[in-house]
């Protein structure tokens, strides 16, 4: 019985690792608003309910806009910032987006340009 339990745990761990490796990664570094928001909406539309994808941005403004868009759409996400690069892991929980216009979330201020784009 203990051996079956250990094997089951090991199998679950391997399956989780495979799912992480297969996770779609969307890099919006250097993109101006609304491009990161449009990429987020597109990925949400293409992702199956319950699945996750990773989004990367180098703009704090884009991170703030995307976070606002995800919260308004009741979409689960976690985020991490390292050296001016934000990584979001976004999990689709519902098949319907409540807010469908990501452009409405763009705030165009001096932070709207990513670290890799010259204004």
pLDDT at residue 112 in the model: 41
pLDDT in tens, 65-116: 999 999 988 899 999 999 999 999 999 988 777 776 777 888 754 444 444 4
pLDDT greater than 60 at residue 59: yes
Q: Which CATH architecture has domain 23-105?
A: 2-Layer Sandwich (3.30)
Q: Where are the domains of the chain?
A: 23-105
pTM over 0.75: no
CA neighbor of 108 nearest in space, from 39, 72, 61, 41? 61
Rounded to whole angstroms, how far apart are CA atoms 39 and 36? 5
User: What DSSP string runs through 69-84?
Assistant: HHHHTT-EEEEEEETT
What is the average pLDDT score of the chain? Answer: 82
Q: Which residues make Cβ contacts (< 8 Å) with residue 25, sequence separation at least 6?
A: 53, 54, 55, 56
pLDDT in tens, 36-46: 999 999 999 99
User: What DSSP string runs through 4-34?
Assistant: HHHHHHHHHHHHHHHHHHH-EEEE-TTPPTT
pLDDT at residue 70 in the model: 93
């Amino acid at each position: 019985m203990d051996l079956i339990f250990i094997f089951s745990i090991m199998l679950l761990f391997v399956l989780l690792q495979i799912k992480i490796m297969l996770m779609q990664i969307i890099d919006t570094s250097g993109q101006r608003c609304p491009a990161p928001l449009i990429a987020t909406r597109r990925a949400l539309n293409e992702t199956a309910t319950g699945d996750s994808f990773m989004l990367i941005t180098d703009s704090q403004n884009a991170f703030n806009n995307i976070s606002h868009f995800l919260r308004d759409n009741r979409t689960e996400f976690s985020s991490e910032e390292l050296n001016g690069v934000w990584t979001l892991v976004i999990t689709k929980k519902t098949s319907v987006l409540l807010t469908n216009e990501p452009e409405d979330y763009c705030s165009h201020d001096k932070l709207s340009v990513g670290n890799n784009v010259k204004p």
